[in-house]
Amino acid sequence: MRQSVSRGLALLRRRHRMLAGIVDQGVVGIGNLAVGLLVLRASTKEEYGLYSLCYMTLILLNGFSNAVFAAQLTVSYHEHPRHDRDGFAASLLRGQMMLSASLALAGLAVALLLPEGVLPLDLRPLLVVSALACPAVMAHDFLRSYFFLVDRPFNAMTLDLLLVAGWAAGTLGLGAGPVPSHSLAALAAFGLSAGVAAGLGLALSRLPLRTGGGPALGAVAVAWGHGRWALGGAAVTALQNQGHVYLLGWLGSARAIAELNAARMLIMPMGLLIVGVGRTLTPAMARLAAEGRVAEMTRTANRTLAGVVAIVALYAVVMLLAHDWLIGRVLGGRYEGIGPLVALWTVVLLLQAVDANLSAVMQVAKRFRELTMINLWTVGPVLAGVIPMILLYGAEGNLVALAAGYVGITLLLWREAARAVAALESGAAAGRTPPPEPRGR
């Protein structure tokens, strides 16, 4: 009886954490959507397209940072003795701060030193502001990941509420006053709000950032053992997920990027649902795997995937039935005719939901090398297919090629995730921490 009660309480705690993650991501999503719509409606298609490129690049760099630092924190935190865990987290945060400062300096150099023939004048101020925002955005995201990991979701939600409120208010205030465009105002407000939220997060976390250089470098070196593969995977995934947008800008125009991202904006709530579930699912599975409860971890992954796919599919049906009305009401008359892009994005989103779940399983098993190689095998054919599809069919062809690439990735991930689970089960049966993937291949 006592065992049944304990299992029931554990299930409630996991569902509570997952619900908190979804609500938190919903808060971020509402803010992101609100600011995006504000910039979209206040800007020309060209201005919105340039804003989309800069914002996407900022999120892309944050993804690289997450691969090396936040993801390694998530999968390795519970393997450390309790008294060493926060020191490990603080060391990784210090390493991330050094990386983000280096990226900011490099971005400023690019924005200020490239000649006008290479970098258009209207893009230069956007790049400067994005570079300055980079350290704050990365620190904020690391700290919210930390709070979810240590079962303090309301601290993460506090940071995100502060970020969203400051981002929206700053965009309105700066855009109506001293800043010449809403696109520039939105990027500046994003960086400033992330900095304030990160400062609060540091105060709430009480992480021992004043540790010596030796322990910090040691923790970063350990994380780099798997993080280098995760970084490679993030880089290749970025090429897969975002490379098509840059190709569209190169082969098409900023207007085409604006239409592509406007269509994606309508399905953004479901994309944020996938991210929100992943924020809590991966730490929960990592904890179960560390305790040797692999069967329970697998059930959690399968049930979560079924629920997410069902919700996304229902949303897709509603979106396909009402997209004309929504486009006119939400995006405005300038974006009429992007219904096919909305339909194609829903297909891509369903495939992304499956891939995110399978990737989480492989991260928990520390199969970062396999994740990298799967993406590496598929990114070339996908980008090679994107180019003629863009030339022939524009943005629609772009998404068809992207969806085809996701089908291939899903099949490969499914096979490798099954192998990863088998390795976890054998490690649990032997009473040891599951082994990482072989490095000598």
Place of tokens 């935190």: 77
Residue 229: what pLDDT?
Answer: 65
pLDDT of the residue at 437 = 47
What pTM was estimated for this model as a whole? 0.69
Find tokens 């229902």 and name the residue: 314
Cα Rg, the chain, nearest whole Å: 22
* pLDDT for residue 50 is more than 70: yes
Checking if the pLDDT of 434 tops 70, the result is no
pLDDT at residue 438, rounded to an integer? 46
DSSP string, 340-408: HHHHHHHHHHHHHHHHHHHHHHHHHTT-HHHHHHHHHHHHHHHHHHHHHHHHHHHHHHHHHHHHHHHHH
pLDDT for 13: 53
Residue 9, Cα to own-chain centre: how many angstroms? Answer: 30
13-36 pLDDT per residue, tens: 555 666 666 677 778 878 888 898
- Structure confidence at residue 12 as a pLDDT band (50, 70, 90): very low
* Cβ–Cβ under 8 Å, residues 185 and 175: yes
The torsion angles phi and psi of 119, rounded to 5 degrees, stand at: -120, 115
Contact 43, 177 (CB under 8 A): no
Whose tokens are 């609500």? That residue is 23
- How many beta carbons lie within 10 A of that of residue 224, not counting itself? 16
- Nearest Cα to Cα of residue 46 among 194, 209, 261: 261
Angle at the Cα of 209 from the Cα atoms of 204 and 215, rounded to 5 degrees: 140
Find which of 215-229, 295-309, 415-429 is predicted with most confidence, using mean pLDDT: 295-309
pLDDT tens for each residue of 141-154: 999 989 988 888 88
C-beta of residue 53 within 8 angstroms of C-beta of residue 124? no
Q: Give the relative orientation of helices 124-149 and 2-42 as an angle to the nearest 10 degrees.
A: 170
Integer angstrom CA distances of residue 217 from 77, 99, 134, 214, 275? 16, 13, 22, 5, 30
Q: Which tokens in the block code for residue 243?
A: 């490379």
Give the Cα separation of 374 and 123 in Å (integer).
34
User: In which band, very low, low, confident or very high, does the pLDDT at 115 lie, cut at 50, 70 and 90?
Assistant: confident
| Residue ranges per structural domain of the chain | 17-429
List C-alpha distances in Å: 46 to 34, 118, 242, 255: 19, 18, 18, 5
- What's the average model confidence in pLDDT over 312-321? 86
